[in-house]
Structure 1
């Protein structure tokens, strides 16, 4: 990745109205971040909105310099160092900042998450399970939170662990885990989607959870209350087609209700490393066989390389099919009778104009107030 390309990618993803899906579609259509940046003003104008505020080149240089000063580096989607399994997710982060041993991303991985206010027994179990998985050559991925996350990292420090954080690489959250995060960076790997200097906010944690789930062919939940962040990670993993595993607990402990509910709903019950590896075996083979999935996994059918330029009538047709309730893009294509590339371009224009919301499952809606 050249300096110009990196700076353009930083500018693109940090710009207003450009999220992971929009970023990916812009690169697929225009071939480079630099070309996409040049195209954004015209696309937004055709979408009937104001020009989105573009991240400046000087701002991008300052961010790049700050990452390098920390000792970190960028991983960009579509390029060789980017985690291949994560690239399959349609909302995978276009840029990650990384501090530590990048080579861990080429090894088999499993996510382990659980309660922040975990019981002592559950923390001991998570620590021991992570250690055993590490001895079998599996890298343990977690979120550097209190409780189960911290125990999982501690158990796998000697064998390989990846911590995914909600803030920037230079932020330590929770503060009491600063020593652990530094140890993971020195002996394992820390990944962040947010730029340096970012303090995590509530909305950042689901973003982090999708990365944890996306990196791995399987996710283990050790202890979790209902409606916890750990269950969000498990749900995201299931939506990506990954294995969801849960450790059973006492029905008398509220912190076990989430895991027991997962098992009831079809998650794989696991009690030791051997059972985890057995459940992971099909997915681990799949990871080793796939590399550079940017085009294969993220290409929107009929979109990349299309020369379709929709006219006003086509734009009106697509807009009339949109409403406040999320609708699948493929349904909009079917009902409009238009080429997929033309529909995707109209949606891209509306997105850049700030008039479109994108939802999970490939659904879109008009932004509230439109």
Structure 2
């Protein structure tokens, strides 16, 4: 069931270094990165423009841009760890991540990139899993693997570890919340090494980055994005697994849930997902039948680099235009299209102002193209 990768371009060493500098810059996330590349055509030119753009957005201090020596040190750390940085659009970039809303421009990869050519299923669940839940996760992963699916999960205790263990022989992908050299939790270090030898371990975080609580939702987003569907085996009412399920649903992935006893709090989240319309899973065939219509054809390869946008007839935004946009924004997310209609400004003017606010650390971007203003505290 392995698909032949489409022919894809590749970054030069110089481009890769500049891409890494740009994505490691404060206030630059996937959305801002894409906007900057589309606007200026290269990461190097975008980096040169950052201070001016951030100042226009009202930055109280300019975002820190790592110098080339810092980025070269991180690239050397990757080489020492047997890892590499892969850019979106390159052949080794995971197929399903390309279909995400705002995929990471660069990921660090350690292991066998062939696993990214397989269709994938994500499996997540409770860290304090029951023996029955662990057995179910391992069985699902093993049987889905035999049918040609890779298994993606987050290397956590319990269900995640069982899913990885069940798919070591057929293809598994672990997503880390910290750098590739900082796997968590410590008791899964040996499993992480085995996954890197037989599957792949990936992260969008810098080398040396110790995971913090707020980094795990970012990891969950990638876990959800890697699969055609996401299976939740056990989850309490308030858990990271339910965050993964919500993210998967927002991305248009199929959400599956394994039912459990109403008396077990570890099943309250999965049973709730079933009430909300998740697909029930009592055996592997339930997943295979639901995914069969989706598992066909290669994923189109997006362009690696964009040419600078053609100049528009609209003049650059002025201070009054910036005032209209910031006045219309608040802590409640609004869609960019609604903002354009409300202000009456040219779309390119609004996009420029949003980019400036983003680089100034004053804008938050949300799933589906909505934005909100970060209020001063």
The TM-score range, normalised by the shorter chain, is: over 0.9
1:22 matched residue in structure 2: 32
Alignment-derived partner of residue 78 in structure 2: 67
Instruction: Look up the match of 2:360.
Output: 353
Q: 1:248 aligns with which of 237, 245, 259?
A: 259
- Superposed, 1:303-314 pairs within 5 Å as 304-307=309-312, 308=314, 309-314=316-321
Query: Within 2, Cα distance between the matches of 1:28 and 1:201?
Result: 31
The CA deviation string for residues 149-182 of structure 1, in whole angstroms up to 9 with x for no partner, is: 0000110001110111111111131111111111
Whether 1:122 and 2:125 are equivalent positions in the alignment is: no
What's 1:164 paired with? 175
User: Residue 36 of structure 1 corresponds to which residue in structure 2?
Assistant: 46
**Is 1:212 aligned to 2:219, yes or no?**
no
Deviation, structure 1 residue 16? 1.1
Moved over 6 A (4+): none
Instruction: Tell me how far 1:305 sits from its aligned partner.
Output: 4.2
After TM superposition, give the deviation of residue 36 of structure 1 in Å: 0.9
Contact 1:306 1:341 in 2 (8 A): no
Residues 76 and 88 from structure 1, CA distance in 2 versus in 1: closer, same or farther, beyond 3 angstroms? same
CA distance in 2, matches of 1:214, 1:305: 32
**Conserved in 2, the CA contact under 8 Å of 1:8 and 1:34?**
yes
1:277 aligns with 2:265: no
Matched, 1:138 2:149: yes
TM-aligned CA deviation for residue 354 of structure 1: 2.1
Instruction: Give the one of 96, 102, 105 matched to 1:85.
Output: 96
Other-structure match for 2:209: 198
Shift of 1:356: 1.9
CA distance in 2, matches of 1:68, 1:201: 24
The runs of 5 or more residues in structure 2 that have no matched partner are: 1-10
Structure 2 residue matching 1:158: 3-state secondary structure? coil
Q: What's the counterpart of residue 15 of structure 2?
A: 5
Q: Secondary structure at the match of 1:92?
A: coil
TM-score between both structures, scaled by the size of structure 1: 0.94
Change (3 A) 1:62 1:360: same
2-structure distance, mates of 1:213, 1:25: 24
Residue 349 of structure 2 is aligned to residue 338 of structure 1: no
Q: Do the aligned partners of residues 84 and 343 (structure 1) sit closer, same or farther apart at CA in structure 2, a change above 3 Å counting?
A: farther
- Note the C-alpha offset of 1:291: 2.3
Residues of 2 paired with 1:45 and 1:216: CA distance?
Answer: 40
The separation in 2 between residues aligned to 1:226 and 1:306, in whole angstroms, is 50
Larger mean Cα displacement after TM superposition, 88-97 or 227-236:
88-97
Residue 8 of structure 2 corresponds to which residue in structure 1?
none
Question: 319, 322, 327: which one pairs with 1:320?
Answer: 327
CA contact (8 A) 2:221 2:247 kept: yes
Quick check: 1:87–1:294 contact (8 Å CA) kept in 2? no
Unaligned runs of 5+ in 1: none
Determine if contact 2:330/2:375 at 8 Å carries over to the other structure.
Answer: no
Q: Is the 8 A contact 1:304 1:341 kept in 2?
A: no
Aligned length: 363
Per the TM alignment, residue 310 of structure 1 is displaced from its structure 2 partner at its CA by: 1.9
2:29 and 2:196 map into 1 onto residues whose CA distance is: 27
**Deviation digits for residues 270-329 of structure 1 (CA, Å, limit 9, x no counterpart):** 1222111111123222xx332223689xx9xxx954534223332222122112322221
Output the CA distance in 1 between the equivalents of 2:135 and 2:95: 32
In the alignment, the residues of structure 2 paired with residue 313 and residue 41 of structure 1 have an alpha-carbon distance, to the nearest angstrom, of 21
Q: Which has the higher helix share?
A: 1
TM-score, normalised to structure 2, is 0.92
Cα deviations by residue, 1:221-279 (Å, 9 ceiling, x for unpaired): 01111111011001000001110011111111111111111111000001222111111
Name the SS of the counterpart of 1:365 in structure 2: strand
State the secondary structure of the residue aligned to 2:152.
Answer: strand
